[in-house]
Amino acid sequence: MLPNTKNFVYFLNQENENKKSNTEISKNMLQKILQTMANQVLKEKTPNLQDLDRILQGVIQQPNEKSEEENQKEKETCIQGTGEPITKYLQKIGYLKDKKKWLTNKAFFEIGGKLLHDVMKSISEGGFGFHETNNVGTGSTIQDTTKKLELGDDIRNLNVPQTILNSIQRITKKSMVVKFPISLNFDDFEEFETMEENKVAVVYCIDLSSTMKYSVSSGEGSRIEAAKKALWALYVLNKKFFPNDSVYVVGFGSLASEVDPYDIPYLKTYDANDNFLHYTNYQAAFRLALKILKRDGSKNKRIVMITDGQPSASFIDNESQKKDILSDKPYSHFYKPDESTLLKLQNECDIRLDVGAKMVYLCYRYRQVDPVIDAKTLFEAKKCKREGIEIDTIMVSEEVELLSYVEGLERHLKGRAYYINPENIDKILITDFISNKKKILNSKQAL
């Protein structure tokens, strides 16, 4: 029998381990704790367990919209007589682990589910009929409904009882005696309908440049926090409703790295002290995304860029390209990722950067894109397009120059580019993912 997780139950000591104490945390309090954990893990500087414990103790002691008597009673039952840190108990019941990345899978999905629920509640479009389609015919999911067998259809989906019944009905309509063995005509054959599974693989490329630290207009959180929250909810949506689809995440600065979905809440931006990693290299994101999608078996593939700045870096694949740049601009800057930096990031931040090339060309130009970087970015993006990958760009910056650049890039790629308020990015990404599924289904029907 599964344990009841609606309430937290504290044990006073080890000797009492098999007896419940009177100390319980209500379901409402649990939700407040999980919400606080979500807010803290999304911050640019994630607190350690000791700091988290102090924060959660503060939440427990905060009064809520109840009577003073109820608040006092709940406060007493929450903390009196336990002598045990709240984080220790959360570890016991599976929400925390004693590691730098302290969310367990249970907490990841429970919090992500709440984030998703809040987003879906605010989206006015339709319900959850995400995979609905009128497209019937050859597919991999067998339905309860049937249709007449057509030449070339898979006989393994034959509805034998209905086929025999059709034959008997046809014979009796002609006032004939039913004799065995029954004679079957082709029109008697009926098969189960099938629904075609439309798998989608999407790589979300998140800009980790230092400007993604900027606060959103409300002042609550930053651009990167809003993007992480959106991707967290999106991944839970994907696992719950579209388990056959794939959602990947790539974080990029001067170089790019694939992000484990469970590490989405812990994503951090680079700054100027991160050994030139704070530049923006679209090409690195496209190159790694292409590598990921090539190993995925889905037919429908997309890349969605989330950025607040124009590209300011690109790869240099050989010395000849470097010499060409230097001949035109002798004071150009180049960055060669060194082993010590790569190892440090891997050990401290669990980031495995995809080097992609031996050298990175760095050129930040105020409100402009360097021609070399522009050409290399477009070249890499077109390579993705040739592989049948759709590319869309979401901008979380109101800079006219960025809008102009991205719109021009998408004209070449026949994709979409649009600006959104970072505070609405969760609604945009989830609505976009669902609508894209519908678009794919519709395009299949039109064939």
- 211 belongs to a structural domain: yes
Looking at residue 68, what is its pLDDT?
Answer: 56
Sign of the alpha-carbon torsion through 168, 172, 174, 176: positive
- Non-local (6+) Cβ contacts of 444 within 8 A are 133, 135, 196, 198
CB 80 within 8 A of CB 3: no
Q: Is 416 helix (H, G, I), strand (E, B) or coil?
A: strand
Question: Which distant-in-sequence residues (6+ apart) come within 8 Å of 219 by Cβ?
Answer: none
Question: Both 177 and 222 in a single domain?
Answer: no
User: Rg of the chain over CA atoms, in angstroms?
Assistant: 28
| Half-sphere exposure in the Cβ direction for 406 (13 Å, CA) | 26
Are both 98 and 229 inside the same structural domain?
Answer: no
Is 221 part of any domain? yes
Residue 3 lies in a domain: no
What is the distance between the alpha carbons of residues 167 and 184, in angstroms, rounded to a whole number? Answer: 6
Rounded CA-CA distance 200/189 in Å is 34
For 67, residues 6+ apart whose C-beta sits below 8 A from its C-beta are none
Task: Please tell me the predicted confidence (pLDDT) of residue 180.
Answer: 76
Report yes or no on 259 lying in a domain: yes
335 and 438 part of one domain: yes
**pLDDT tens by residue, the chain, 447 residues:** 444 544 444 444 444 444 444 445 678 888 899 999 999 999 988 999 999 999 998 888 776 555 455 555 544 444 444 567 889 989 988 999 999 999 999 999 999 999 999 888 887 544 433 333 333 333 334 445 677 777 766 677 778 888 888 888 887 887 677 777 777 788 878 887 655 557 889 999 999 998 898 888 776 788 999 999 999 999 999 998 888 899 999 999 999 999 999 999 999 998 877 778 899 999 999 999 999 999 998 889 999 999 998 999 999 988 899 999 999 888 889 988 778 878 887 787 778 888 877 799 999 888 889 999 999 999 999 999 999 999 999 998 888 888 889 989 998 888 888 888 888 888 888 888 888 776 776 554 433
In three-state secondary structure terms, 329 is: coil
Which pair of structure tokens corresponds to residue 312? 């300011």
Treating both helix axes as pointing N-terminal to C-terminal, what angle do 105-122 and 223-241 enclose, rounded to 10 degrees?
100
Instruction: Give 285-328 as a 3 state SS string.
Output: HHHHHHHHHHCCCCCEEEEEEEECCCCCEEEECCHHHHHHHHHH
pLDDT at 81: 45
Cβ atoms of residues 399 and 366 within 8 Å: no
Torsion of CA 381, 386, 388, 394, to 10 degrees: 10
Which structure tokens are listed for 149?
């067998």
Report yes or no on 322 lying in a domain: yes
Do 163 and 250 belong to one domain?
Answer: no
Per the omega criterion (within 30 degrees of 0), is the bond before 261 cis? no
N- to C-terminal Cα distance for the chain? 50
Q: Give yes or no: residues 413 and 305 share one domain.
A: yes
Residues 233 and 205 in one domain: yes
Q: Is residue 254 part of a domain?
A: yes
How many domains would you assign to the chain? 3
- Per the CB < 8 A criterion, the answer to whether 314 and 376 are in contact is yes
Domain span at residue 88 reads: 8-103
Would 154 be classed as within a structural domain?
A: yes
- Last residue of one domain, picked from the residues 103, 123, 152: 103
- Same domain, yes or no, for 83 and 178? no
Which of 195, 213, 233 is at the close of a domain? 195
**Residues 297 and 429 reside in one and the same domain:** yes
User: How far does Cα 404 stand from its chain's mean position?
Assistant: 27
Asked if 344 and 231 sit in the same domain, the reply is: yes
Structure confidence at residue 418 (pLDDT):
80
* CA separation, residue 30 to residues 27, 51, 170, 276, 402 (Å): 5, 18, 64, 42, 43
Same domain, 221 and 239: yes
Tell me: do 39 and 160 sit in the same domain.
no
By the 8 A CB rule, do 77 and 23 touch? Answer: yes
Judge residue 214's burial from the number of C-beta atoms within 10 Å of its C-beta, 0-12 exposed, 13-18 middle, 19 or more buried: middle
Beta-bridge mates of residue 314: 361
Which residue among 164, 195, 226 closes a domain?
195
The pairing of beta strand 8-9 with beta strand 24-25: antiparallel
Distance CA 253, CA 85 (A): 39
Q: How far apart are CA 324 and CA 311, in angstroms?
A: 20
Residue 249 lies in a domain: yes
239 and 189 share a domain?
Answer: no
CATH of the domain at 385: 3.40.50.410
For the record, the structure tokens of 103 come out as 């969310």
